[in-house]
Amino acid sequence: MEGITLRRIGEQLDVRPGLISHYFPAVEELVAEAFSSAATGELDTLLPIAGEQDPDSPVRRLSRFFADATGDSYHAVSKLWINARHLSRYRPVLRERVAAQEAAWRERLAGLIQEGVARGEFRTGDPYVSAIRIIVVIDGLAAHANTGNASHPPAVSRMAITTAETELGLREGELDPPADD
C-alpha cells in the first residue's frame, strides 16, 4: 500500500492521474477507501449480519466463519490488514479507517456471540471481551502467516477455534466445520 501513487493508478487504469485526483485529491484518501472497501467486503462475507443472508444458528455461523477464514485468500487479506495497521501509524485518514474496521469486526462478532448467548448456544459473561480474545488469536495467526510460514501444526492451526470454544463454553470440536460443507 505504501507504493501506491495516483500516477501508477492512472497508468493501470489507462486514465490521466487528474481523473483519479478529482475523486481522491490525496493518495492517502484513495488508500484508505480501498482498504475500507476490502475490509468491509471481508467482514460481510465472513460474518454476515444475522437474518440478512444467513438464517443458520450462531454455532453454525461461527463454525462456517472459521472454515472460511483460512487458506490463501485469507492470508492475502491478513497481509493487507498488517500493512494497513503499520501504515496507519503515519497516515491519519488510514488510521481512522483501520480503527473503524476493527470496531466493526468487534461489534459484529460480539453481536453473533450475544445472539448465541440469548439462544442458549454460547455461555460467556461478556460477549464483547470474548470477541476481542478470539480476534486477537486470529490476528496473531495472521501475523505468523505473514512471516511466510503459513503451515502450522494442527493444534496451532486450530488455535482460534479452540479459543472460541473455550470462551463460549462449547465442547472441543463443536466449531469444527461440518462434514457436509
pLDDT at 157: 78
Give CA–CA dist 77/86, Å, rounded. 14
pTM: 0.83
Mean pLDDT computed over 19-35? 79
Residue 142 has pLDDT above 90, yes or no: no
Mean pLDDT computed over 8-28? 74
pLDDT at 26: 74
pLDDT in tens, 33-83: 888 999 999 999 889 887 655 578 999 999 989 888 866 667 778 888 888
Residue 11 has pLDDT above 70, yes or no: yes
The one-character DSSP state at 54 is B
Residue 74: HSE in the Cβ half-sphere, 13 Å Cα cutoff: 17
Q: Residue 50 in 3-state DSSP?
A: strand
Contacts of residues 26-29 at CB distance under 8 Å and 24 or more positions apart, as own/partner, are 26/93, 28/91, 28/92, 28/93, 28/94, 29/93
Outline where DSSP puts E strands in the chain: none
pLDDT at 89: 93
Question: How far is it between the farthest Cα atoms of the chain?
Answer: 58
Residue 92: burial class (beta carbons within 10 Å; 0-12, 13-18, 19+): exposed
Mean pLDDT computed over 18-31? 76
The separation between CA 3 and the C-alpha centre of its own chain, rounded to angstroms, equals 23
Average pLDDT along the chain: 84
pLDDT at 106: 95
- Grid coordinates representing 156 are 496451532
Where residue 134 falls among pLDDT bands split at 50, 70, 90?
A: very high
| Residue 18 identity | G
pLDDT in tens, 89-127: 999 999 999 999 999 999 999 999 999 999 999 999 999
Q: What are the b/e assignments for 147-169, b being 16+ CB within 10 Å?
A: eeebeeeeeeebbbbbbbbebbe
